Structure 1
Amino acid sequence: MQLASSGGRRLRHAALATRKLVLEAERTVTRKELSAAARDAGKALDLRPAQRAVLSELVACWGEQEWERLLVWPSNDYLMSRTGLTERAIRRILRQLIDLQLLAPKDSPNGKRYAVKDLAGQVVDAFGFDLTPVYARRGDWAVMLMEQKQLREVQKRAFDEVTICRRATEEALSALAEHFPEVDRTAFEGELKSLQARTPARSKVTLPADLLEAWQLLRTQVEEVFFEAGNAGLGVRHSDNNNGSPSEPCNKGFPKKAEAVRSTEQTPEHLSPELILEACPTLSDYGQPVRDLADIVSAGRYLRASLGAHESAWAEAVEEIGTVRAAIAVIYTLQLYEDDVARNGGESRIKNPGGYFRALTRMVKAGKIDLAVELLAMRRRRMA
């Protein structure tokens, strides 16, 4: 059967499904409530701008009548004047909104849209579009938006982990080139470039499932090669240098804290835990009381991972500037990074905190930076 040219439309399953959606008994929906539901629907269904514009204009036509259905009857000419779209585009978008179960058409005998009035001139019914589905499905929109939020959070954590693995891999390759240039890095560098080319921008919604595993595997392999090279290929974890009597405790002559402070390390008197606490509030992330320099060392060793710095960077810092200054350098770098993020709205100029910590250690050793002076200046800025 051929449809009439006066506006008849083909029957759609979605149109029948939306008719089964009803409002609560004696429920009057305001235009504000309907508009909020339409905005949520647009976000949940990821509507295109033109679709949102047409849906918004339909919602704006709701007159808040005390009806069982939310009926509106704007003409295509009206929608064209309000949205700037062509009539063909309006017709196409209306069909799409019906298929998405946002609208239910209510056709008149001649296919036109108009209101039905009683003898007193009051509108009692209408032929046009029923917006009841938009409001009745607001629970669906809430669930879909929550799922989308959870998906974005999962993707954010995945991209963050990829970034951590990439930086750690680059740091390990850099350390190999500096300390063990004889080690062949060609295969690792080729794999690094390949993974960088495969990694999409953060603006992409999804991350390939195998990509994160590939980054983690590459990081593990490169760090393992660096570890083995540092052990001269012997694969041993440590050497036993304790020549004392087996009956003597292994911690004889050392402080009772988690890590010892070497007796040869001379720390300025004004470089006190109180100064560090006042200059670097980030110490609160340690979660333990800080009373003396041994506690500072424990905190620095714990917070080192927050910088994304490899254990080799910590070992180098301890060897070059001493345990206490190494811990203070960790805390100082972490505070610099957090302050920079806070000042720049979530962005930091320190792109690689672990590499910054390694560079800071070398400048302290060379005498280019005095940690005590830097902490005093940081405290002064914070108090001001």
Structure 2
Amino acid sequence: MESEYVTTPFGRRPMSLAMLLKQRRGEAIEAGTTRNKWKLFRSVCEARAGLDVTDRALTVLDALLTFFPDDELSSEKALVVFPSNAQLSLRARGMAAATLRRHLAVLVEAGLISRKDSPNGKRYVRRGREGGIDEAYGFSLAPLLARAVEIETMAARIAADRQMLRGMKERVTICRRDIAKLISAAVWEAVPGDWERMSSIYQAILQRIPRAATIENLAPIIEDLETIRQGIVNLLELHEKMQMTSANESQIGRHIQNSHPESISESEPGLETGEGLSGDCGPRKEPEREPVETPGNGRDGSSFSIRTSVGKLKSFPLSMVLQACPDIADYGPGGSIGSWRDLITAAVIVRSMLGVSPSTYEEAASVMGPENAATVMACILQRGGCIHSAGAYLRDLTRRARRGEFALSPMLMALSRAKSLLTSGAGT
């Protein structure tokens, strides 16, 4: 049992009221309190952040516990250990004497041990005639046992918080994966929606995730991510329902049309007049020749020049663009393109689908103009597997357009000729 008198520091170390309070608190051990010293040490390690001790200080505490002969710390036993600095250094993995003293001070300041200094500052024990300990001077482990309940509670709370934080990080990871793949699926399937804005909001939320995540700062981020995910799921489900309804109506329409199998309108698409070009849609994967700097002639006899001025491309009628690049219409609002605005909207979706960065597309739009940049994206989509990297290809065309070395007309005419050849070949 620890003596209850106050011990003051040896040497030049001053006494303070805080030291007195810690010493008294460390002696306030309830009768019958016992703890396994190694289980209690593990709790101290778990609660290290809350106790404000370092891992090196815990190494010193581990060494001090090895000098206590029993595994059980009890309020009925003397809890003072009195190792020499040399022996304590050896059990502290060879820690230097100055480092040892610094971490012993940390343990005392944290209220895990207390000093019980002898008259001359040495650590030793005085034994009685029967060999029992009458008085011991060194480091008392009584504060550690006195705070056992507090330490164990703190360790349990920290462990629970760590487990909760791990679960929250897993939820963030799952939400990030779900949102990214759902947006990609929506763009790939040409589901109507402002997916560019949705992606921007998603990226903005990701920027809020701190490097040192905590329960407090992750909770609102998870809520925002789950809200976005649910909104995307709702849009996709609504689109699926509309598709099912449209499919049912289409089946009814085909059943009515089949009563007139001789009708030509069922097997041939209608022609759209405009700039003397057909609105027919055909296969897309015929490789085209590289754009050349030669003028081309439209079917109506009008001439298309390579460029009107350096870095300035000539625009072409929307009907001609759709004639040469029919696949872009699938990505327009409602699956069709009726204006330049619809084409630009579809080009943004195709840009994201083909992996072209926003900065690359914005630079192309700045150099070529929004309509021409959208036309180039339609051509890239139409060429399909012929282009290995859409972003690199668009950057090259932008550089050429800035130098005045690129024209849209050869590209559009090449696609139109390839489509006409495929259509005529299929007819024969």
1:24 and 2:31 aligned:
yes
TM-score normalized by the length of structure 2: 0.46
Map 1:6-85 onto structure 2 (within 5 A).
6=11, 8=13, 10-11=15-16, 12-13=18-19, 15-22=22-29, 24-25=31-32, 33-46=36-49, 47-64=53-70, 68-83=77-92, 84-85=94-95
Q: Does 1:178 align with 2:181?
A: no
Separation in structure 2 between the aligned mates of residue 150 and residue 41 of structure 1, nearest angstrom: 15
Which residue is equivalent to 1:112? 122
- 1:113-148 deviation digits (Å, cap 9, x = unpaired): 221233566532111111022233332233222212
| Percent pairwise identity | 22
Question: 1:104, CA displacement in angstroms?
Answer: 1.9
2:171–2:222 CA contact under 8 A, matched in 1: yes
CA displacement at 1:192 relative to structure 2: 2.5
Aligned runs of 1:172-321 on 2, under 5 Å?
172-180=182-190, 183-199=193-209, 204-206=213-215, 207-230=217-240
Cα distance in 2, alignment partners of residues 205 and 79 from structure 1: 38
Q: Spell out the pairing of 1:122-133 with structure 2 (5 A cutoff).
A: 122-133=132-143
For residues 269-311 of structure 1, give each alpha carbon's deviation from its aligned partner in whole angstroms, at most 9, with x where no partner exists.
xxxxxxxxxxxxxxxxxxxxxxxxxxxxxxxxxxxxxxxxxxx
Tell me the distance in 1 between the aligned counterparts of 2:196 and 2:158.
Answer: 41
Structure with higher Rg: it is: 2
Equivalent residues in 2 for 1:92-103 (5 A)? 92-103=102-113
Q: Quick one: structure 1 residues 50 and 208, their matched pair in 2 at CA, closer, same or farther if it must change by over 3 Å?
A: same
Q: Read off the aligned partner of 1:165 and give its amino acid letter.
A: C
3-state SS, counterpart of residue 78 of structure 2: coil
Q: Where does the alignment leave 5 or more consecutive residues of structure 2 unmatched?
A: 1-7, 250-428
User: Structure 1: 5+ residue runs without aligned partners?
Assistant: 241-384
Q: Output the CA distance in 1 between the equivalents of 2:213 and 2:161.
A: 12
Deviations 1:226-272 (A, max 9, x none): 34545669xx9xx99xxxxxxxxxxxxxxxxxxxxxxxxxxxxxxxx
- Conserved in 1, the CA contact under 8 Å of 2:46 and 2:158? no
3-state secondary structure, aligned to 1:170:
helix
Matched residue of 1:161: which SS? helix
Give secondary structure in 1 for the equivalent of 2:29.
coil
Which residue in the other structure is 1:361 paired with? none
Q: CA RMSD in A?
A: 3.6
SS at match of 2:137: strand
Residue deviations 1:195-251, cap 9 Å, x none? 3344357x9554533211221222133334434545669xx9xx99xxxxxxxxxxx
SS of corresponding position for 2:182? helix
What CA deviation, in whole Å up to 9, does each residue of 1:41-88 have, x standing for no partner? Answer: 222234533112100111111134996430111233332233222222
Distance 1:35 1:149, change over 3 A: closer
Q: Which residue type is aligned with residue 63 of structure 1?
A: P
